Structure 1
């Protein structure tokens, strides 16, 4: 195979290790025109580090598998072009910092699946069968953006509430799953209230909405360009506060709590 005349050697520092510890190792790897970081990782596996553990699947930015931190920023390796780095720049690849390391660049993201199970699913309206649902496009558009999520968990990784405070993880669902709550709460056909589920209350009490201080770091790293903070978290906060401090709701709660 003929090497392109535009090829060059790049300096990579890749974290190697497991749950017991590890460190950064230096490599010089060939880079060709048009390649992405995942291409270089595959070449590194093929030529110098055959035991390097890395998770990937589609290589098209749609499966969310190849999440890592590149020069400290959470990114998808398959969507990070080598052309964004200078040829003399050292490129550091490390595993997602918010989650336990399995080996090398692979982390245990089971925290996220546990949080997903805690969010009550869509509740269909009683008396409506499949195919009978009718919604206005305006209503669909409100939450359709959130359906683009590929669950790469970059937003979860960069959220400092999850990333820097291990003690918060039990009480905080993270931006990905608060966005899921917001999506369901915006759904015009979700009959959760009729089933006794108050999504605004559960967002606050069960999923830790109050921990979020809307720094927008989750939005900044989303590879799908979802405006997580502006379109999901802030509106959800507004609705939760309106619900909690509505004077009629407050009065009703006082009356219901009153003992005979």
Structure 2
């Protein structure tokens, strides 16, 4: 026999609504989604709620429980005190359709804006070959179930609706990082796209997205921070700046002599194709992504207190980017170090 528990559930639509109180029977081992289904079967048959797999893999039942974005099917009632009132509300960042259902089309729009994986033209799909270390490097980000909890908790758009147009959010930052780490992706401007079009600079690394991820993806540490570092390397590295002066000297002399400049090369300014200074890459960036604007070169490099910058991108001896796990990590990872391991496993070993 279950016990009676107090719930407050938001009811309403895009025109408004409020929290309504319910007393619902809760049985041992149940999750919040079980309770919502019981409420639909008894007192509130018109309560709207999304769900699908009930196994934490589809991401459909995203909601905010006691103010924290969570999956209803993965939030056990045993985590709350018996006399605690459980408050369930829709995702705050996205427009409400009805009750606990929100319009998350913002995320699909940002997904369509993200340039797709671009394999080499001379390779057929069955001919792709990758080193295992490169597979491991981006495999973590492929665990994303697109529940959009990281998107709704990010304060950049949670508290500032006006930022949505210029900000893609954590889910698509890790998508950009995944493709930037992929050795078979031929687009060389992923970093520049993330900085210029996805709004990577808006992120101030509060790690709230990592905290709510039900797949325990280390979004900030393994995705966003390495991407920010690579953007800084390309944009502010003094050696890259020096290289741009050396390799463009002949082009500038041609322009002064009246010669026709090469297509896609913007003299005196850097396009979004980045620090590679490859005319083909710059032409592809301007044509394929339709950025149609230029970014002035920074006036001074950003350096640490010693006046130095890491040169990982220039000295790395393998394709793609340095591993976010660090060079001292071997693969496959031990079971206790996997991101999908239980968060309390270390405590259990101690006992």
Q: The TM-score by the shorter chain falls in which range?
A: over 0.9
Output the TM-score relative to the length of structure 1.
0.94
**What is the alpha-carbon distance in structure 2 between the residues aligned to residue 247 and residue 225 of structure 1?**
36
1:90 is aligned, of 81, 85, 88, to 85
1:45 alignment counterpart? 40
**What is the alpha-carbon distance in structure 2 between the residues aligned to residue 26 and residue 61 of structure 1?**
27
RMSD (Å) for aligned C-alpha atoms: 1.3
1:135 alignment counterpart? 130
Structure 1: which 5+ residue stretches go unaligned? none
Render the CA deviation track for 1:162-187: whole Å, top value 9, x for unaligned. Answer: 10011111000000001100000000
Which aligned pairs between 1:81-230 and structure 2 lie closer than 5 A? Answer: 81-193=76-188, 198-230=189-221
**What is the alpha-carbon distance in structure 1 between the residues aligned to residue 244 and residue 45 of structure 2?**
63
1:250 alignment counterpart? 241
2:222 is aligned, of 221, 227, 231, to 231
Aligned length: 251
Q: How many Å apart are 1:131 and its aligned residue?
A: 1.4
Structure 2: which 5+ residue stretches go unaligned? 257-351
Output the TM-score relative to the length of structure 2.
0.70
Render the CA deviation track for 1:70-104: whole Å, top value 9, x for unaligned. Answer: 00000000000000011110000000000000000
**What is the alpha-carbon distance in structure 2 between the residues aligned to residue 55 and residue 97 of structure 1?**
15
Three-state SS of the structure 2 residue aligned to 1:64 is: coil
Alignment partner of 1:16 is 2:11:
yes
Q: Which runs of 4+ in 1 moved over 4 A?
A: 251-259
**What is the alpha-carbon distance in structure 2 between the residues aligned to residue 247 and residue 239 of structure 1?**
14
Q: How many Å apart are 1:246 and its aligned residue?
A: 2.5
2:30 is aligned, of 25, 30, 35, to 35
**What is the alpha-carbon distance in structure 1 between the residues aligned to residue 93 and residue 242 of structure 2?**
42
Q: How many Å apart are 1:125 and its aligned residue?
A: 1.0
Q: How many Å apart are 1:249 and its aligned residue?
A: 3.6
**What is the alpha-carbon distance in structure 1 between the residues aligned to residue 178 and residue 219 of structure 2?**
11
Structure holding more strand per residue: 1
Larger relative contact order, structure 1 or 2 (CA cutoff 8 Å, min sep 6): 1
